[in-house]
Structure 1
Amino acid sequence: MERIDYRELVQTILKGHSIHNANDVTELQLIFDQERDHYQVLHLGWEGLKRVYGCIIHVDIKDGKIWIQRDGTEVGVANELVAAGVPKQDIVLGFHAPYKRKFTEFATD
């Protein structure tokens, strides 16, 4: 079986999340650092007098594993990765403390 290109898959998933902006006043930005394998979706702009800025999704690829550092989606980036064929042992839920990861069905590091 051919190995999945994690960089390409992560970018495709994040691009899919960047088109779902219900608010035309603010924007969703994709940040892809392919050299260092950092990938983010940011929400930014202004809603009236209030500044909007936040990271919705942050994914890193380290040592051949996909580290989900932040996941503000309903469906869950890990679920999307598994559905695309990524083995659970190649996904680390980095937003969980290291001692809690052993209680998930995903990699610990």
Structure 2
Amino acid sequence: MDSSQLDYYRQVIETVLSEYAAIPYSYAPIEAELVFDRTRDRYLWMDVGWDGERRVHGCLVHIDLIDGKIWIQRDGTEEGIAADLERAGIPKDHIVLGFRPPELRQYTGYAVA
């Protein structure tokens, strides 16, 4: 993968995650925190805060860029972050649903690895 395509993938991931993180929670003081590590090509959307007396601290979305493909390691969105990446122009064969077992990925319509 050339550097311009890699930069494009990084920008798409950052834009999609930023759009999600901009939506405020209406029921609790929970903040969306984004972690963009372009050196290691890791991208996280974390939720941090309190829901009443319950501490909220968890990863909603985790994406890695590995060997020119976008690996979705965790996806806590309703529709699926892969659909947003597709709408932004990322081909399905460059998206791996890493949270699916390897033997089932062939049936997802996305890349196997």
Q: Same fold (TM over 0.5)?
A: yes
User: Which of 12, 15, 31 is residue 15 of structure 2 equivalent to?
Assistant: 12
Runs of 4+ in 1 over 4 A off after TM superposition: none
Q: Distance in 2 between matches of 1:79 and 1:47?
A: 29
SS of 1:41 mapped into structure 2: strand
SS of 1:70 mapped into structure 2: strand
Q: CA deviation at 1:90?
A: 0.2
Q: Distance in 2 between matches of 1:13 and 1:39?
A: 11
Matched, 1:38 2:42: yes
Q: CA deviation at 1:87?
A: 0.8
Q: CA deviation at 1:21?
A: 2.3
Bigger mean CA deviation after superposition, 31-40 or 18-27: 18-27
- Corresponding residue of 2:83: 79
Give 5+ residue unaligned stretches, structure 1.
none
SS of 1:12 mapped into structure 2: helix
Matched, 1:92 2:96: yes
Q: CA deviation at 1:76?
A: 1.4
SS of 2:104 mapped into structure 1: helix
Give 5+ residue unaligned stretches, structure 2.
none
Q: CA deviation at 1:3?
A: 4.5
Task: State the TM-score, normalized to the length of structure 1.
Answer: 0.92
Aligned length: 108
Q: Distance in 2 between matches of 1:10 and 1:49?
A: 33
SS of 2:103 mapped into structure 1: helix
Matched, 1:65 2:69: yes
Q: CA deviation at 1:84?
A: 1.2
- Corresponding residue of 1:21: 24
Bigger mean CA deviation after superposition, 58-67 or 68-77: 68-77
Q: Distance in 1 between matches of 2:66 and 2:31?
A: 28
Q: Distance in 1 between matches of 2:48 and 2:77?
A: 16
